[in-house]
């Protein structure tokens, strides 16, 4: 069985404890992973703290940091095949998607590499004639980056990229579920030539590793992606170090389809939103609201397309839907669906484990018709291939139904009316609105949620600022004696 190691202070090391990682397609152990405990986390944070102050990193120019990130991007592109294979093996995400996604992750590092020497300070038109004031943007310090198992390389890039561009150092904790691709990615950090300790990559369980990392007194910044309950723990942990926190959490994203839309094309976007990645995506378009005249026709198209989705071995190029990442995830979905049916929901297709897929954690693409937003499958995040469908009679009602949630990550609007697209877009309470498309991302565009979907934005040029703090510098230009010392100037 392959055995993976932690990457701390520029060296590959074992942890005192290890655990078996399971292949979601078969449910059997395939690799041994290191489980970082408090001792390993402390070593990683100390290494990051030393590296933060070491001239080998702190003395680099922004342009030099940018070049290292560009090189990392090139290495990711070169090794995308191997990383994709490992991500597919350890998380069950299909190889078509992991390969394409990791190829694109390379561009994220290049984008942030390009930004490194564009993090500009400012000169202020100060209201005192004998002063010059300028602002320096300085790196915030040691960053604790925590990611879940879905899209780990991608979710790491939106944290590591801006952190390193700004001059921070990082301890990145991979999820205990499917950590292989990130532990392998550590080799590319090493090969790119980052000084030792600048990036440390560990894995381990929330308790003790996640807690120890996010509450460590030397951590100045926490960038977290995961579930809302864990996010609350993380915020409590940062009461210890008062770290600046950003949170990218889940969602229950609404998709509004108006009757004037081209339903055949819409159906592909909806399928991309809920069945791609087996629905294990924070932006999953899991609540579908259809204008009543189009409802039955759209559901029929979706059900017929869902029935044809090729479920199978995630390493097979032809597979369109692989297993769920964990048995826990499947149990959560089955429990929710049972409660939804008890509350009156009707399963239109799927609804259980696909026939012939007894091994592994497979779940069939599922469409459920629900009466209102209180039904559990409409109200709660499932993180699986379950689409809840409801209908509406007016634009006003559609907006109200879409906004009736504590989440607010993504949303979709399908209409051929330009005026309606703009009206609805303005009123949706979500960090992302996709119009006549779904599940598109780019390093150039901010990503993040409203409400319980999170705090802060990742991606885009502004995200780098969250890894800096401002130093205001006052320089007196007069040679006269300092005036009245008892009056504030
Ligand atoms: O995430 P967790 P899980 C949602 C989705 C899913 C649910 C739980 O609904 O079903 O969250 O998923 C680390 N201090 N999303 O269990 O537990 C943990 O080790 C610090 C949405 O995978 O939040 C892992 O590295 N860290 C989401 C990371 O937190 C702690 C993606 C995420 O784990 C910790 C994933 C602690 N006390 C799940 N406890 C999205 N936005 O895409 C755990 N961790």
339 assigned to some structural domain: yes
pLDDT of residue 433: 98
79 assigned to some structural domain: yes
SS3 440: coil
Atom of ligand 1 nearest to the CA of 174: 25
Active site residues: 248, 282
Indicate whether residue 227 lines ligand 1 (CB < 6 A).
Answer: yes
488 assigned to some structural domain: no
Average pLDDT over residues 4-25: 97
Q: Are both 164 and 312 inside the same structural domain? A: no
Nearest C-alpha neighbor of 101 from the set 155, 163, 159, 170: 155
pLDDT of residue 269: 96
pLDDT of residue 158: 98
Q: Are both 274 and 235 inside the same structural domain? A: no
Average pLDDT over residues 308-321: 97
Look up tokens 């489980």; give the residue: 35
pLDDT single digits (tens) 70-117: 999 999 999 999 999 999 999 999 999 999 999 999 999 999 999 999
Q: Are both 59 and 194 inside the same structural domain? A: yes
pLDDT of residue 214: 98
Average pLDDT over residues 259-274: 96
User: Is it the case that residue 453 has pLDDT exceeding 90?
Assistant: yes
Confidence bin at 225 (pLDDT 50/70/90): very high
Q: Are both 218 and 284 inside the same structural domain? A: no
299 assigned to some structural domain: yes
Indicate whether residue 383 lines ligand 1 (CB < 6 A).
Answer: yes
Distances (CA, A) of 403 to 249, 373, 383: 17, 10, 19
Q: For residue 351, what is the DSSP state?
A: -
Ligand 1 mutation target, pool 34, 205, 230, most atoms within 8 A of CB: 230
Cα dihedral across residues 116, 222, 247, 73: positive or negative: positive
194 assigned to some structural domain: yes
Tell me whether the omega of the peptide bond preceding residue 15 falls within 30 degrees of 0, making it cis.
Answer: no
- CA nearest ligand 1 atom 27, residue: 226
Distance 194 CA to ligand 1 centre (A): 28
Distance 227 CA to ligand 1 centre (A): 4
Distance 419 CA to ligand 1 centre (A): 39
Indicate whether residue 230 lines ligand 1 (CB < 6 A).
Answer: yes
Q: Are both 326 and 229 inside the same structural domain? A: no
Number of domains in the chain: 2
Q: Are both 423 and 301 inside the same structural domain? A: yes
Q: Are both 48 and 89 inside the same structural domain? A: yes
Ranking 287-291, 314-318, 450-454, 482-486 by mean pLDDT, the lowest is: 482-486
**Among the residues of 54-94, which ranges form H helices?**
55-58, 62-78, 80-91
- CA nearest ligand 1 atom 34, residue: 206
Indicate whether residue 204 lines ligand 1 (CB < 6 A).
Answer: no
Average pLDDT over residues 12-36: 97
- CA nearest ligand 1 atom 20, residue: 210
Indicate whether residue 206 lines ligand 1 (CB < 6 A).
Answer: yes
Distance 389 CA to ligand 1 centre (A): 27
pLDDT of residue 42: 98
Q: Are both 411 and 455 inside the same structural domain? A: no
Please report, for the domain that includes residue 469, its CATH number: 3.40.605.10
Indicate whether residue 330 lines ligand 1 (CB < 6 A).
Answer: no
SS3 172: strand
Q: Are both 297 and 403 inside the same structural domain? A: yes
Mean pLDDT of the chain: 97
Please report, for the domain that includes residue 294, its CATH number: 3.40.309.10
Find the domain containing 197 and state its range.
Answer: 6-249+449-473
pLDDT of residue 358: 86
Ligand 1 mutation target, pool 227, 234, 334, most atoms within 8 A of CB: 227
Q: What percent of the chain has pLDDT over 90?
A: 98
pLDDT single digits (tens) 25-60: 999 999 999 999 999 999 999 999 999 999 999 999
pLDDT of residue 283: 97
Cα dihedral across residues 246, 249, 252, 255: positive or negative: positive
Indicate whether residue 248 lines ligand 1 (CB < 6 A).
Answer: yes
Q: Are both 244 and 268 inside the same structural domain? A: no
Helix 152-166 and helix 80-91, axial crossing angle in degrees, nearest 10:
130
E strands, 208-351, where? Answer: 219-225, 244-248, 254-257, 287-291, 346-349
Distance 147 CA to ligand 1 centre (A): 7
Indicate whether residue 282 lines ligand 1 (CB < 6 A).
Answer: yes
Look up tokens 């990383």; give the residue: 83
Average pLDDT over residues 417-446: 98
pLDDT single digits (tens) 183-200: 999 999 999 999 999 999
Atom of ligand 1 nearest to the CA of 249: 41
Average pLDDT over residues 126-138: 97
The pair of three-digit structure tokens given for residue 253, joined into one six-digit string: 């994203």
Indicate whether residue 176 lines ligand 1 (CB < 6 A).
Answer: yes
Q: Are both 284 and 405 inside the same structural domain? A: yes
Indicate whether residue 208 lines ligand 1 (CB < 6 A).
Answer: no
403 assigned to some structural domain: yes
pLDDT single digits (tens) 413-428: 999 999 999 999 999 9
Distance 276 CA to ligand 1 centre (A): 20
Q: Are both 61 and 144 inside the same structural domain? A: yes
pLDDT single digits (tens) 375-406: 999 999 999 999 999 999 999 999 999 999 99
Distance 228 CA to ligand 1 centre (A): 8
27 assigned to some structural domain: yes
484 assigned to some structural domain: no
């Amino acid at each position: 069985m392959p055995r993976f190691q932690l990457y701390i202070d520029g060296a590959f090391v074992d942890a005192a404890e290890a655990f078996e990682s399971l292949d979601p397609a078969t449910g059997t152990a395939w690799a041994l992973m290191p489980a970082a405990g408090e001792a390993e986390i402390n070593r990683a944070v100390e290494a990051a703290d030393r590296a933060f102050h070491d001239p080998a990193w702190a003395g680099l120019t922004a342009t030099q940091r940018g070049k290292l990130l560009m090189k990392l991007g090139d290495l990711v592109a070169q090794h995308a095949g191997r990383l994709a294979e490992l991500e597919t093996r350890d998380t069950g995400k299909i190889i078509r998607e992991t390969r394409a996604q990791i190829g694109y992750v390379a561009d994220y590092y290049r984008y942030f590499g390009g930004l490194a020497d564009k993090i500009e300070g400012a000169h202020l038109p100060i209201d005192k004639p004998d002063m010059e004031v300028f602002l320096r943007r300085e790196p915030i310090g040691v960053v604790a980056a925590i990611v879940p198992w879905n899209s780990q390389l991608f979710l790491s890039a939106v944290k590591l990229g801006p952190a390193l561009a700004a001059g921070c150092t990082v301890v990145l904790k991979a999820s205990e579920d499917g950590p292989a691709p990130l532990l392998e990615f550590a080799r590319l950090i090493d090969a790119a030539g980052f000084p030792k300790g600048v990036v440390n990559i560990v894995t381990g369980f929330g308790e003790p590793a996640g807690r120890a990392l996010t509450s460590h007194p030397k951590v100045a910044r926490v960038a977290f992606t995961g579930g809302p309950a864990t996010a609350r723990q993380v915020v409590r942990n940062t009461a210890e170090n008062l770290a600046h926190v950003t949170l990218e959490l889940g969602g229950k994203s609404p998709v509004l389809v108006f009757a004037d839309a081209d339903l055949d094309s819409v159906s592909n976007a909806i399928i991309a939103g809920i069945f791609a990645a087996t629905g294990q995506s924070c932006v999953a378009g899991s609540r579908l609201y259809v204008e009543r005249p189009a409802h039955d026709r759209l559901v029929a198209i979706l059900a017929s397309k869902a029935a044809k989705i090729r479920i199978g071995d995630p390493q097979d190029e032809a597979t369109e839907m692989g297993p769920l990442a964990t048995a826990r995830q499947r149990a959560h979905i089955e429990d929710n669906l049972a409660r939804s049916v008890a509350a009156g929901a009707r399963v239109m297709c799927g609804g259980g484990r696909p026939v012939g897929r007894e091994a592994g954690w497979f779940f069939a693409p599922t469409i459920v018709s629900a009466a209102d937003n209180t039904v559990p499958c409409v109200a709660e995040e499932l993180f699986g291939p379950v689409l809840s469908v409801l209908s509406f009679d007016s634009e006003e009602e559609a907006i109200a139904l879409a906004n009736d949630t504590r989440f607010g990550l993504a949303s979709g609007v399908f209409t051929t009316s330009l005026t309606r697209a703009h009206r609805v877009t303005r009123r949706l309470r979500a960090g992302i609105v996709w119009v006549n498309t779904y599940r598109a991302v780019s390093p150039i565009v901010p990503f993040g949620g409203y409400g319980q979907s999170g705090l802060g934005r990742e991606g885009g040029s502004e995200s780098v600022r969250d890894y800096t703090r401002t130093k205001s510098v006052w320089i007196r230009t007069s040679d006269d004696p300092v005036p009245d010392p008892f009056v504030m100037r």
